[in-house]
Amino acid sequence: MATGSFWDYDVWSLIIVIAVLLVSLLVANLIKKTVPFLRRSLIPASVLGGLILLLIASIYYLATKEVFFNISIFGSSTYLNAEGLEVKKTGTQILEIITYHCLGIGFIAMALRDTKKPLDKKSTRDIFNSGCTTVASYLIQAIFGIGITVIFGLLSTKIFKASGLLMSFGYGQGTGQALNWGSIYEKFEENPFVGGANFGLTIAALGFLSASIGGVFYLNYLKKKGKVVQASEEEAKAVYLEEIQTTDEIPMNGGIDKITIQIAAILGIYGVSYFLMWLFGTLVPGVKSIIYGFNFLIGTLLAILTKAILKFLVRKGVVKKKYLNTFMMNRIGGFAFDLMIVAGIAAIQIQLIKDYWYVLLVLGVVGAVITFAYNLFVANALFKDYKYEQFFAMYGMLTGTASTGVILLREIDPEFKTPASNNLIFQTLPAIIFGFPMMFLAGYCNQSDKATYITLGICVIFFVFMNLILFRNQIFRRKTNK
């Protein structure tokens, strides 16, 4: 770029794209607050904002046969990629980049929060069971998802048989992971899945709708039966100074602003994550695409390690004040996930999934039903003291994100008096431990038809194994009684 050419599209494209995303969030929030039906639907403003942009982009494409976010003002630069090939960066690619990075940034921010883990036996057991439920839900989504796309794949060569595995990422883990693995499948040299990224993003969008619509229907049913009491109004809760800053933390505006330190910590950790991914990808080139799909996981593990080191230094008196602030980390994480969701839905290109619409429809409906049924069964069996709260938290998370689970939970537990909110937060560690093998299965599933069938079989065996762990007390107690 020549000096002084600040009017070039390349200078403004990223800012324009982010501005459009954030303005759509504001418009969606206004519409949601104004329209009673949408307010009752519990649909997140980020999802509604993404759907608004998707509608605008679809209308624009029907009228012009051009992709809306590929207009020059949204991005028109050309660069050389890692293979030395010339690539044009468009607005759609910027949306996908934002989705990818916001996933990693959001997870790091959440991992850096200072939360006190409950130590009593029952709470630890419930947290462990919640993590096992999460992984078992991923597996049942993968089993039904692969089963459906294998059947459709046998009927039509257009259907990518391994694509059903994306349901466990789109529903179970949200927009970022659905895009990650959809893109990996799309760029696979030997067996590419044309439109894979859009396929994954669409499944994620259907997941959010399942959480919002399905959650509301069941909530209204329980309310009519008198089994739950729904919060009548959205009440503004006062935030006290102690929640924003504790006495043992650094001041808000010392030599460097406190929010700057939080952002620096997050991006510093994310930068180290990139270095590790680059190192692994260089040493083992064959798994480079899979390694870069782990950006959120590597970032989370580094964040946990960083937090542990800082706590140790504070305990030993080497560091006098706490630098990380939970309140700000929550806000940064919330911003990253809101931006991730709206960007991910806006990046969907309807024309690229026109050949798969009926498969996506079946996956969407089946995904909602099996996730609903399985989590309701587990909540009734293992969380009897607060079964409805646990169900709404887990169902919301496993069809959207953790924030979707919180939205549903707040409708019947606005003050988070039950352990369901804690289970939602702390289940991450056991879920990562047990769910880690699924990442390798995802990288193997698309290699061939045989690999897809083997992956399906492994998921079935793994699902049985996870349920043996989950219902261990009931199974062993019955054997003992006999």
Q: 126-135, 290-299, 304-313: lowest mean pLDDT where?
A: 290-299
Q: Rounded distance, CA 262 to CA 269, Å?
A: 11
* Residue-level pLDDT at 1: 44
**439 DSSP β-pair partners:** none
Q: Select, from the ranges 94-108, 132-146, 330-344, the one with the highest average predicted confidence (pLDDT).
A: 132-146
For the chain, how far is it from start to end, CA to CA, in angstroms?
78
What's the token pair of residue 450?
């045989």
CA neighbor of 149 nearest in space, from 137, 160, 139 = 160
Q: What is the mean pLDDT of residues 381-393?
A: 92
Q: Rounded distance, CA 41 to CA 272, Å?
A: 40
DSSP 403-432: HHHHHHHHTT-TT--STHHHHHHHTHHHHH
**Strand ranges inside 73-187, DSSP E:** 77-80, 86-89
What residues have CB less than 8 Å from 396, skipping those under 6 apart? 211, 215, 404, 405, 406, 407, 408, 409
Is the pLDDT score of 100 beyond 90? no
* Residue-level pLDDT at 419: 86
Rg (CA), the chain: 23
Asked whether 218 and 399 are in contact (CB, 8 A), the reply is no
Give the whole-number percent of the chain exceeding pLDDT 70. 88
Q: Rounded distance, CA 421 to CA 435, Å?
A: 21
Model confidence, pTM: 0.78
Neighbours of 175 (CB within 10 A): 33
Q: 68-82, 362-376, 431-445, 458-472: lowest mean pLDDT where?
A: 68-82
Q: Rounded distance, CA 150 to CA 163, Å?
A: 9
Q: What is the mean pLDDT of residues 290-299?
A: 80
Is the pLDDT score of 277 beyond 60? yes
For CA atoms 37, 40, 43, 48, the dihedral sign is positive
Give the single-character DSSP code of 235: P
* Residue-level pLDDT at 158: 81
Confidence of residue 365 (pLDDT cuts 50, 70, 90): very high
Q: What is the mean pLDDT of residues 415-441?
A: 80
Per-domain residue ranges of the chain: 9-230+341-481
* Residue-level pLDDT at 242: 56
Q: Rounded distance, CA 185 to CA 159, Å?
A: 13
> How high does pLDDT run on average in the chain?
84
The rounded Cα 253 to chain-centroid distance in angstroms is 33
Is the pLDDT score of 247 beyond 80? no
The dihedrals phi and psi of 455, each to the nearest 5 degrees, come to -60, -45
Is the pLDDT score of 350 beyond 50? yes
Task: Express each pLDDT in 192-232 by its tens digit.
Answer: 888 888 898 899 889 888 887 888 888 888 888 888 776 65
* Residue-level pLDDT at 111: 83
- The SS3 of residue 370 is helix
